[in-house]
Amino acid sequence: MKVLIVEDEIELAQSMAKFLGSESFICEQAHYYDTALDKITIHDYDCILLDISLPDGNGLLLLEKLKALKKNNGVIIVSAKNSIDDKINGLNLGADDYLAKPFHMAELAARVQAVVRRRLFNGRDILEFNEIKIDTAAITVMISEKVVPLTRKEYELLIFLMSNKNKVISKNAIAEHLTGDIAEVMDNFDFIYAHIKNLKKKLADAGCPDYIKTIYGLGYKFTE
Amino acid sequence: MRLLNVNLRSFLYYSLLLVLIGVPLFFITIREILEQEIDKTLHLQREEFINHLRNYEYLEDLEVDLHVFDELAYDLSIQPASSGSKDELYETVSLYDSLDREAKPYRVATSYFIVKGKWYKLIMRMSLVENEDLVLVIGLVQTLLVLFLLGGFLLINRSLSKKIWQPFYKTLTKLKAYELNKSESFQYEETRIDEFDDLNAAIRSLTNKNMEVFQQQKEFIENASHELQTPLAILQSKLDLLMQDEALTEEQAALVKDMTNTNQRLSKLNKSLLLLSKIENQQFIDKEDVDVTQILRDTILNYQELTATTTPNILTTSPFILQGNKVLLEILINNLVRNAFQHTTHHDQIKIKLQDGTLTIENPGEPFKQGSEKIFERFHKESTNRSSTGLGLAIVKKICDLSGYNLTYAYQSGAHYFIVKF
């Protein structure tokens, strides 16, 4: 799957490319409006990560161009502004999601995968890993064809972990992901430990091996 | 006090002063004029009398006639005199009036004349208008004048304030309703009065300048945010990559963790500061009907799920619809609820109540060590938790101040109470 990273901060663009590249994504970078325009005109991408403020143009104009070109790709706006107006404008112009800087790479990966899944399977997609099967439209988790009842936060947590297979995810990233957009992250991360513990127990009870590993005090890793 | 009333008051004082000076002045002048006029008349009468007398000088018994005349005439007295002069003496004398039975002022002219070689003293008199009457009449006339003047002033003042000042009040109303961040230029109609047109033009140029500065400030905030968020994002991304390194030792992982936490804290701080300045710059002004109960329910549910705790006692009434900014209300409620969840000693003892437009959030906890006065100040921290920004309650306070909500705090029997009256 091809991802175009339109981002004028080269360091950030490279980090994004490296992180997503280790997943099953092939990443291309455009650091300027013009190069981005060239790339979207010539190539097709599954997902475009779009910074609004570019040195030589407004990212929102690229959205309009994409619409005019009738490209069927996902777009996630990545902006430092975090302004409600930009968010609404972007989403109205056909962007799928909006991610405010700074963000965690794990969050980015999860969002990209969600957008790509939605595009590819028209919203009705199945997330699979060995015996785990998640139907994101029905919001159900099945292990060996048996439904495992999870709370909403446990469900979100599992998807987040599975979207970042073999990656260490920091507790900060998990906390931010679970807290949501408006809400502010709580100061202590005890609640994450509680959710992980509950999730692990439910998965183990359903006969699932322990995929969620603790990496020192740093975070967690979903791996075989 | 209105400007016109200040004017009016000065006018009134001045007219009062004029009346006070005017009454005695009038009195003196009128009396003077009257006296002069009477003196002239007396003089003429005397000339005429003496001329007539000359015509009858041939009469033998003129002397007797003069005596009889003296006896009969009321305003006249002719007395033989031993000597005389050509001078005429005029004076005001108070004489007893036998008809009115009281003393009355008279103008008396004393002069001398010679008939048949004999001196006679001629005294002629004329009644003067009584002083009291004169003062009374003048005072009355002046009072009437002042009353008419006053009434006229008031009437003119009233119609003036309505008509002439109308453009001014229009401008004032517009200024009061003017909001800098609506980015609309100050609109006004031509009034055809130079002062008001000048004022309006000055206001327009002032507001335009302010708008420009405001715009620049907004841009500065946005730029500052952009400039800070991007390096933070880069740092975060590098840390996220670093922690993927399989070769990380436990000590190195601990270092990465500390850096991640610090970076997170920095991001949160930047975000909160930005939010605070955005609120201060009144960038959240669009109002709509907001169901506060719904926001409260969603927020509480989120924190319940996050903390995986039992339901705190939520005493909520039916939907409470409020005209306000949705984003601000969400932030306000979120910060208060988060505060309660974060600092409570027992999750199941958090009590949240929304009734009659008053939101009460109660959570058990130790009393503040540094007193409660400063809890809404920026960067005031009670907890030793270093990741707390110390801005959460400052943001709550700012939102309440700007939206006109009443925010109070109380500590009672082992529990903190945050009360917002919408």
Q: Among residues A119, A101, A126, which one has the least CA distance to residue A48?
A: A119
Mean pLDDT of chain A: 88
Average pLDDT score over residue span B230-251? 92
Chain A residues whose beta carbon lies within 8 Å of the beta carbon of residue B237:
11-12, 15-16, 19, 105
Domain ranges across chain A: 2-121, 126-222
CA B20, CA A45: separation in Å to the nearest integer? 98
Fold agreement between A2-121 and A126-222: no
CA A68, CA A179: separation in Å to the nearest integer? 36
Average pLDDT score over residue span B389-409? 88
For chain B positions 172-201, those within 8 Å of chain A (CB to CB) are: none
| Cβ contact B233–A102 (<8 Å) | yes
Q: For the beta carbon of residue B112, count every other beta carbon within 10 angstroms.
A: 17
| Domain covering A126-222 assigned CATH 1.10.10.10 in the classification | yes
CA B318, CA B355: separation in Å to the nearest integer? 9
What pLDDT was estimated at residue B259? 92
Write the pLDDT tens digit of every residue in B255-284.
Answer: 999 999 889 888 888 888 888 877 877 778
CA B186, CA B179: separation in Å to the nearest integer? 10
Mean pLDDT of chain B: 83
Phi, psi (rounded to 5 degrees) for A24: -90, 30
How far apart, in Å, do the first and last CA atoms of chain B sit? 34
CA A8, CA A30: separation in Å to the nearest integer? 7
For chain B, what is the total number of helices (H) and then of strands (E)?
Answer: 9, 11
CATH class for the region spanning A2-121: alpha beta
Task: List residues bridging with B291 in a β-sheet.
Answer: B321
CA B344, CA B148: separation in Å to the nearest integer? 76
Query: At residue B214, does pLDDT exceed 60?
Result: yes
Angle between helices A59-68 and A84-92 (to 10 degrees): 10
Task: List residues bridging with A132 in a β-sheet.
Answer: A129, A143
CA B165, CA B162: separation in Å to the nearest integer? 6
| Cβ contact A194–B229 (<8 Å) | no
Structural contact between residues A77 and A94, judged by C-beta atoms closer than 8 angstroms: no
Does residue A217 sit at the B interface (CB-CB below 8 Å)? yes
CA B281, CA B331: separation in Å to the nearest integer? 16
Identify residue B301 by its one-letter amino acid code.
Answer: L
Task: List residues bridging with A213 in a β-sheet.
Answer: A221
Phi, psi (rounded to 5 degrees) for B160: -65, -45
Average pLDDT score over residue span A119-132? 79
CA B271, CA B281: separation in Å to the nearest integer? 15
Domains with residue ranges and CATH for chain B:
3-150 (3.30.450), 197-279 (1.20.58), 285-421 (3.30.565.10)
For chain B positions 7-46, those within 8 Å of chain A (CB to CB) are: none
pLDDT band of B35, cuts 50, 70, 90: confident
Write the pLDDT tens digit of every residue in B79-89.
Answer: 888 887 888 88
Chain A residues whose beta carbon lies within 8 Å of the beta carbon of residue B387:
187
What SS3 state is found at A3?
strand
CA B262, CA B244: separation in Å to the nearest integer? 19
Chain B residues whose beta carbon lies within 8 Å of the beta carbon of residue A100:
229
CA B30, CA B12: separation in Å to the nearest integer? 26
Angle between helices A171-179 and A190-205 (to 10 degrees): 90
Structural contact between residues B260 and B390, judged by C-beta atoms closer than 8 angstroms: no
Neighbour order of strands in the sheet with B76-81: B76-81, B118-127, B102-115, B89-97
Question: What ipTM, to 2 d.p.?
Answer: 0.90
Tokens 């302004």 label which residue? A83
Query: At residue B46, does pLDDT exceed 80?
Result: yes
